[in-house]
Structure 1
Amino acid sequence: MQDLQKPEFDLSYITERIIAVSFHSTCPEQTYLRNLQNITQMLQSKHADNYLVVNISEPREELRRMSTRVLDVGWPELRAPSLHLLCSLCKSMENWLDTCSEHVLLLHCRGNKDRIGVVISSYIQLPSVSTSEEQALDRYTMKRFYSDKMASLMTPSQKRQAFSSELLAHQLKINSSPLLFHCVCLHHVPNLHPTVCRLFIRVYQGMQPVCTTGVSVGKTHKVYFALEPPQLLKGDIVCYYKNAAEGSREPVFRLQFHTGTLHGHPSLFYKKDLDHANKDPRFPENGMVEVVFSETMTNIPNNSAVVIDYDTLDPLVYWDSYENLTTGGTVAIDVTL
């Protein structure tokens, strides 16, 4: 593996045919454009027109000018892409590399490079990646790159989604039936406020809000947030709590998973499974999130001792976390204090 380290960007030949370049979020625009031009010249001199640029961050017109072969599949950093997008991307990579032995791929990312880890850890699930001695060596190299440089940067949801991509190897059975999403129960509320913990949840699908729960009033060890009416969801779910103190919102946890990978209801997620909370000392070690689904319109009892205020007009509750995002295929849930 050959690495070229620059202050403004990281460029790595993961294998001889898969290259990754990530530009730091602090990289100035002019520096980014200059380095991009240098990378283009390097690719042209080494690979002529045999490279495909796979952009896994926001669309960039500069990339289109750099090459006519640009695949824009970006999603927000520190989030997991939809499972459909991830599987389609892996198959597109496979098709490009299989078409010609001289073809190479450039994974381009501006900002957090956790997204490179998502792609690589998913791509190695393809059955064809280890069908020959040469491919087996590439697979080993990619796994080493992932474990040494990427795994520590990825969120629990990203790792869970990469694991879900095992369906590419026909190792994971997908439940195609849509599920009714009834409620989220937070066991052992984090220590966010000395007296009261006002939390709420928002559900998004395709980056559009589809449901907002009431705000919890009071403090207890367990809080149920009912989705009224229950949401019929099929695909990806992004679930995250937010804490609003002194007129601001602070994330308590985020949770993404694919409903098709659920087998059995309800589903429990522990601290280690929750984005943001997994590294927050205020979130208790025994804290967990219970997500309640059903396949029919069933009444789910509310065993919470906390009063839920459904009449709030607080604009913070309805502020859209994804108002500036256009990528689709996910569902999200917010909570605020």
Structure 2
Amino acid sequence: MLSLRLPIPSESVLASVMQRPPRFLNARNQTHLFCSPTLSEPKALQSSTPQATAADVVTREEEEELNDGTTPPEEELPEGLRRELMPKHVAVIMDGNGRWARQRGLPPGAGHRAGVESLKALVELCWRWEIRVLTVFAFSYDNWIRPKVEVEFLMSLFENVIQSELDKFAREGIRISVIGDWSRLPESLQALIRDAEEKTRKHSRLQLIVAVSYSGKYDVVQACKSIANKVKDGIVQVDDIDEGLIEQELETNCTEFPYPDLLIRTSGELRVSNFLLWQLAYTELFFAPDLWPDFGKDEFVEALVSFQERQRRYGGRK
């Protein structure tokens, strides 16, 4: 059930920064998803960012031409992948941003920015390869204990993402859903999330579910509380409680495909870290040694190939 690749020797820090190949499928369509240069960043997390060149600039007309409608350009799947065996729902624990930055002598913010580039590439791959749902673990409820300056930076980054990329998501038919305990999020971020969900709720090309301030245990507890209140109010009888009813009360009730087919965890850690605990009951797991900023197309293809080679028996025999 598990697929674990052995770590490869780490490359030179300078070489990895200077020689790392572009991660984008279309170099003309780089719009700095989750990484706008206008973001105000705390000094403790600041890092130098290369300025865009003339070759990176896309006119509004060109961008509209590239993203006209919700159907991406036809693209053959990489060798070894079969379209009929592609997962409908992929979940990702994006781990290793901090370690990636430390290895290069950079502040944590640089790692989060690099991780954003990997996420941008993954969203585009899922969009092109017709994966229906991508759920990413962006910020755990347990992450609130991290240094205040890092948490504030991440909250600002989330806000900037929604503000700068909402129109692009709309053009490409991407639906945005955010799951987790919103009570600790800044009010301005909560307002932006509500606006993004409303503006994209009818889109169906790809659903991007972002778990922010999320905990798998919290998810189950809030579902239990909701059902208990319905029992108390006479809406539901105790004998009516079953797996289907619990599923309807989980945070992932926002999607047609609440159970991930494949979970990918990066950075070599072999645990699910309180993520989608109920929903992962029969999910195929893939653990990659790469730190999240180093996880790209080749690594994603490897995870998908591994998934397609497995037999999913759900407790039975085949």
**Shared fold, TM over 0.5:** no
When Rg is computed on C-alpha atoms for both structures, the one with the higher figure is 1
The TM-score, its normalising length taken from structure 2, stands at: 0.29
More helix by share: 2
For normalisation by structure 1, the TM-score amounts to 0.28
Larger RCO, structure (CA 8 Å, separation 6 or more):
2
